[in-house]
Amino acid sequence: MHTSDTIKPNFTAVRNACKLCAPLGASLVFKGIEGCVPLIHGSQGCATYIRRYMISHYKEPVDIASSNFSEESTIYGGAKNFITGIDNIIKQYHPKVIGIASTCLSETIGEDVPALIQQYEKAHQDEELPIFMYASTPSYQGSHMDGFHETVLASVKVMAESGATGSHINIFSGFISPADIRYLKEIMHDFKLDAIILPDFSDSLDNPHWKDYKLLPEGGTPLIDMKRTGSAKASIEFGTVFNKGSLSGRIKNLKNIHTAGTWLEDKKSVPNTQMQLPIGMGATDKFFQLLSELGGEKMPLCHERERGRLIDSYVDGHKYVFGKRAIVYGEEDFVIAMVSFLLEIGMVPVLVASGGESSLLKKEINKLIEASNAPFDKEPLVMNAMDFETINELSDELQADILIGNSKGYYIARRLQIPLVRVGFPIHDRFGAQRLLHIGYRGTQALFDTITNALIAYKQEQSKVGYKYI
């Protein structure tokens, strides 16, 4: 079975893009590294936009420095601003790491950031400097997910050290929530696995209350663990699209585009497994089976019971969700996992949309649909490089019962008068986004309950009878 071809609009403008900028993804990774301060090499507006989005979603203070390009630096280069920015960060924060992300502006004028770093280190060779990490993240070359994965790769290239193979594993978990990361740690503990999770912003972007403000929040993947990534016995990467973005349309051999896991496999001989985000029972089963193989432990009883409760809830809630039509949007790897879950519970995706620009989304959704043997009265639309206005225009004919995605699609749900289940990033109009669970049996249970209750509440609100039982 094949999904319908991508619709080609009769215009070239993007109207309310279904993606965010690449340096935002880079900044998120840097916030998940111990003692790291992100520096955006470009205009002040880029850093302000990123801070606003992250603070609104995570409800935590987020410091992101900027080299603050002016008209002069745009013409003559930003070397002076770069040096000033580094000096200020070291003076005020005393960081262990400075994470540098480029922007469209600095990339367009051809700034050689690695050369600027070398010049700075040479000029301060008698001083103890922080570690510098640099990721090339122009937004014209991809979305926030491209920036995210490029930065994970860049950090591993700087930090990973060769050595005798240890008993630990690497988990490159992708863009999940702080709550998801904490749950991953719990899973690793239960399977008795020593796991390095990168990035780890489970504390740095979801801190307990502070009596005094901390310039550098606690948390982040420890630097000593980042060094150990090069001697792990295995790596697990969640996703199938990763950082291929708009590059996939110009590079014939996608194997030339490295992720952190494939780079470690190539350069450090660390075996790598790429797998779908473990959302839904099937995907979680595969993840837990791999953990059992790596650690030599059977699935712990507590997780067996969570799985059993999830099966029971599928049975109890099936009549409420079966056949319901859903519009799903967000990051490519995230919507692939969500579609897998929706097919598992009998829902019908009618539109799968992402602002990502890889050529892989349609192929991956086709695989899921063919494996599910789900009946479709009409083939679902699967669309890359999508914007919200196009989703809005298409939605009138799709007769969707529910939208599933971030809060940027709320105005579509409001116009259609159907529920929106908020998942992923960004969620600006609800509280507790940083504590949403998506992955594993526990996260799947939370998603199933939320989606089922959203559909029940909608039916109840539309009823002329004020019934109180279902």
Q: What is the mean pLDDT of each run of 10 residues along the chain (470 residues)?
A: 50 81 97 98 93 96 92 80 96 98 91 96 96 94 92 98 97 98 98 98 94 92 98 97 65 71 97 98 98 97 98 98 97 97 96 91 92 79 93 95 98 98 97 97 98 97 91
Are 151 and 214 in the same domain? yes
Are 330 and 452 in the same domain? yes
Are 254 and 326 in the same domain? no
Are 224 and 366 in the same domain? no
Question: Is 151 a member of any domain?
Answer: yes
Are 94 and 171 in the same domain? yes
Are 207 and 128 in the same domain? yes
Confidence at residue 319, expressed as pLDDT on a 0 to 100 scale: 97
Are 266 and 358 in the same domain? no
Question: Is 352 a member of any domain?
Answer: yes
Are 239 and 162 in the same domain? yes
Are 259 and 356 in the same domain? no
Are 38 and 143 in the same domain? yes
Query: What is the phi/psi pair of residue 236, to 5°?
Result: -125, 125
Question: Is 253 a member of any domain?
Answer: yes
Question: Is 428 a member of any domain?
Answer: yes
Question: Among 259, 275, 291, which residue terminates a domain?
Answer: 275
Spatial distance between the Cα atoms of 98 and 120, rounded to a whole number of angstroms: 13
Going across the sheet that includes 97-102, the strands are: 65-66, 36-41, 97-102, 131-135
Residue 409 is given by DSSP the state G
Are 242 and 365 in the same domain? no
Spatial distance between the Cα atoms of 346 and 363, rounded to a whole number of angstroms: 21
Confidence at residue 261, expressed as pLDDT on a 0 to 100 scale: 97
Question: Is 2 a member of any domain?
Answer: no
Question: Among 275, 296, 326, which residue terminates a domain?
Answer: 275
Confidence at residue 14, expressed as pLDDT on a 0 to 100 scale: 79
Question: Is 292 a member of any domain?
Answer: no
Are 152 and 96 in the same domain? yes
Q: How many CB atoms lie within 10 A of CB 385?
A: 21
Confidence at residue 4, expressed as pLDDT on a 0 to 100 scale: 47
Long-range contacts formed by 364-370: CB under 8 A, 24+ apart: 364/240, 364/241, 364/332, 364/336, 365/3, 365/336, 365/339, 366/1, 366/2, 366/3, 368/336, 368/339, 368/340, 368/343, 369/1, 369/3, 369/343, 370/1
Residue-wise pLDDT tens digits, 395-451: 999 999 999 999 999 999 999 999 999 999 999 999 999 999 999 999 999 999 999
Residue-wise pLDDT tens digits, 107-149: 989 999 999 999 999 999 999 999 999 999 998 888 999 999 9
Confidence at residue 338, expressed as pLDDT on a 0 to 100 scale: 98
Spatial distance between the Cα atoms of 50 and 54, rounded to a whole number of angstroms: 6
Question: Is 97 a member of any domain?
Answer: yes
Question: Among 241, 275, 309, which residue terminates a domain?
Answer: 275
For the chain, what is the domain count?
A: 2
CATH number for the domain spanning 84: value is: 3.40.50.1980
Question: Is 282 a member of any domain?
Answer: no
The pTM (predicted TM-score) of the whole model is 0.94
The range of the structural domain enclosing residue 417 comes to 317-462
**CA–CA–CA angle 346, 350, 351 (5° rounding):** 130
